[in-house]
Amino acid sequence: MDEQTLSSTKEPAKNTASQHMSAQASAASPERAGSEHRQAYGTAKTENLRDSGLWRIVLPVAVIACCAALLIIPLVILIPLLYNSINAIGTNNVKEAQLVWVWITMIIVELGLFFVISRGLLKIFLTQAGNYQR
């Protein structure tokens, strides 16, 4: 009989404490929910996904401009160096004339890198496969 009395007195105390904590939590949540500003955001199906289409013009122009810069900037540096080395052959300036092969090799390497990089960029950004189809 004592066992039943002890167990029955302990359980209501636990239930009372848990009920008291849940009552506090439920009392606090309406205040918090009432004071917060809530806004429902729609999914991609309901949002307006139209754009001006300007990116379809700006992106290819930017990619083509970067590819042109990738070709022009190194050649602007290397061609005058090659020209000076070729002119040095006629003036018997042996030290500068020996660098002709270096400038020719660097121009060939630069053209190869330009071809590989620009081909990749143009394939990535100028194909219709990446655009959304409707």
Closest by CA position to 107, among listed 63, 65, 77, 69:
77
| Owner of token pair 């052959």 | 89
Q: What is the pLDDT of residues 39-58, one digit of tens each?
A: 766 565 655 666 677 888 88
Q: What is the pLDDT of residue 133?
A: 44
pTM check: above 0.75: no
* ∠ CA 62-106-120, rounded to 5°: 35
More confident residue, 17 or 125: 125
What is the distance between the alpha carbons of residues 24 and 40, in angstroms, rounded to a whole number?
Answer: 27
- In this structure, the chain runs to a length of 134
Q: What is the pLDDT of residue 118?
A: 95
Question: Where are any strands of DSSP class E within 11-117?
Answer: none
Question: Is the Cα dihedral 89, 90, 93, 94 positive or negative?
Answer: positive
